[in-house]
């Protein structure tokens, strides 16, 4: 029994040593160039933006907070070529709902290890009971980056599912994002701080920043608490915005939660954004009449 225990201890420590060395090598290599290309125009945000626009310059990713939008922007702009940023910013973006994704209570480590300025803090926050998932994902990202030449930090548009709004799922989504036991959930201090950091950085670097308020189903928007509607208007005042929140209304144009567009609307929203960019290519001013963007 004693020999077995000694062998197990040796095995565990050897395994941890190999993992530590491997992760160190991965970090030091990919922290220098986690993205394969640099773009003058980039799109950042969470899954709303990821599903919204078919483009290689779409670096949005599901459940991504402003914290990692910010770190992505810093990394992508290392060689000072980015001049335009479209940032997904919707009413739920300032919600405390994002805290789990900011503090690593959710799965974020394999995505952002190489762009976080304090990677050891990321490790300290991670739930290591999920060690198998951590190792599998981290090495999967490294393998794809080396062999398939993907970005080490996952990014890129995704094709949404063919779904249709379900009012029960929509109400659950509203409850998840804006309520805590029937009380309106508080705002996220961290989200707000990183949003301010993005705005400040873009101003300092003379990067054109435009916010995108993505489409939501009318019944979803009607249930957003007034506190969030008012704060959103206040926080985004004076920042150029493409407000598409009311641009779609058909049930088949949204997935079940009413919070994400469906595949039926992807070409339409891509066209809206392309038209917006075309109209603003010379003078970066947001059109007063959004209907000019939504022409079929």
What does the pLDDT look like over 132-174, one tens digit per residue?
A: 666 777 778 888 888 888 888 888 899 999 989 999 999 999 9
Instruction: Look at residue 152 in the predicted model and tell me its pLDDT.
Output: 86
The mean pLDDT value for 38-66 works out to: 92
CA distance 164 to 60: 23
What is the pLDDT at residue 117? 82
pLDDT given at position 295: 53
Q: Is the pLDDT of residue 70 over 90?
A: yes
Find tokens 């990067």 and name the residue.
Answer: 207
Contact between 60 and 47 (Cβ < 8 Å): yes
pLDDT (0 to 100) of residue 246: 94
- With 0-12 / 13-18 / 19 or more C-beta atoms within 10 angstroms meaning exposed / middle / buried, residue 64 is buried
Give dist(CA 253, CA 255) in Å, integer: 7
Look up residue 15 and give its two tokens.
């395994």
Confidence check: pLDDT of 44 > 90 = yes
Q: Pick the residue with more confidence: 29 or 246? A: 246
Task: Tell me the C-alpha distance between 222 and 229, whole Å.
Answer: 10
Domain ranges of the chain: 39-117+154-292
**Residue 176, burial from CB neighbour count under 10 angstroms (0-12, 13-18, 19+):** middle
3: pLDDT strictly greater than 90: no
Q: Quick one: pLDDT band at residue 188, thresholds 50, 70, 90?
A: very high
Task: For 6-16, write each residue's pLDDT tens digit.
Answer: 777 777 777 66
Look up the pTM and report it: 0.85
251 contacts 217 by C-beta, under 8 angstroms: yes
pLDDT higher than 60, residue 284: no
pLDDT > 50? residue 288: no
Using CA atoms, how far apart are residues 114 and 75, in angstroms rounded to an integer?
10
Structure tokens at 207: 């990067």
Radius of gyration of the chain (CA): 21
Q: Would you call 94 helix, strand, or coil by DSSP?
A: helix
Across 17-37, average pLDDT? 75
Question: 179 φ, ψ to 5°?
Answer: -135, 150
- The residue ranking higher by pLDDT, 123 or 90, is 90
| pLDDT number for residue 28 | 75
More confident residue, 103 or 210: 210
Q: What is the homologous superfamily of the domain 39-117+154-292 according to CATH?
A: SGNH hydrolase (3.40.50.1110)
Average confidence score pLDDT of the chain? 85
Distance CA 252, CA 26 (A): 43
pLDDT tens digits, residue range 244-264?
999 999 999 999 999 999 999
């Amino acid at each position: 029994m004693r020999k077995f225990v000694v062998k197990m201890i040796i095995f565990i420590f050897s395994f941890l040593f190999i993992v530590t060395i491997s992760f160190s090598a991965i970090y030091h290599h990919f922290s220098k160039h986690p993205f394969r290309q640099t773009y003058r125009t980039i799109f950042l945000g969470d899954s709303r933006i990821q599903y919204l626009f078919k483009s290689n310059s779409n670096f949005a990713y599901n459940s991504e907070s402003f914290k990692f939008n910010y770190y992505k922007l810093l990394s992508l702009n290392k060689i000072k070529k980015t001049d335009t940023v479209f940032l997904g910013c919707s009413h739920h973006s300032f919600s405390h709902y994002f805290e789990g994704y900011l503090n690593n209570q959710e799965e974020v480590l394999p995505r952002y290890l190489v762009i976080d300025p304090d990677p050891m803090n990321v490790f300290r926050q991670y739930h290591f009971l999920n060690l198998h998932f951590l190792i599998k994902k981290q090495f999967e990202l490294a393998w794809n980056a080396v062999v398939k030449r993907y970005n080490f930090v996952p990014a890129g548009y995704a094709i949404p599912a063919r779904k249709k709004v379900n009012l029960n799922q929509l109400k659950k989504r509203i409850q998840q994002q804006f309520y805590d036991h029937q009380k309106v959930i508080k705002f996220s201090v961290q989200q707000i701080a990183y949003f301010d950091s993005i705005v400040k950085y873009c101003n300092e670097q003379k990067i054109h920043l435009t916010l995108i308020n993505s489409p939501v189903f009318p019944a979803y928007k009607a249930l957003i608490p007034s506190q969030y509607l008012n704060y959103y208007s206040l926080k985004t005042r004076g920042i150029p915005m493409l407000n598409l929140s009311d641009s779609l209304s058909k049930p088949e144009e949204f997935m079940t939660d009413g919070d994400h567009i469906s595949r039926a609307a992807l070409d339409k929203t891509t066209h809206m954004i392309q038209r917006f960019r075309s109209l603003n290519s010379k003078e970066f001013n947001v059109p007063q009449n959004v209907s000019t963007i939504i022409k079929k």
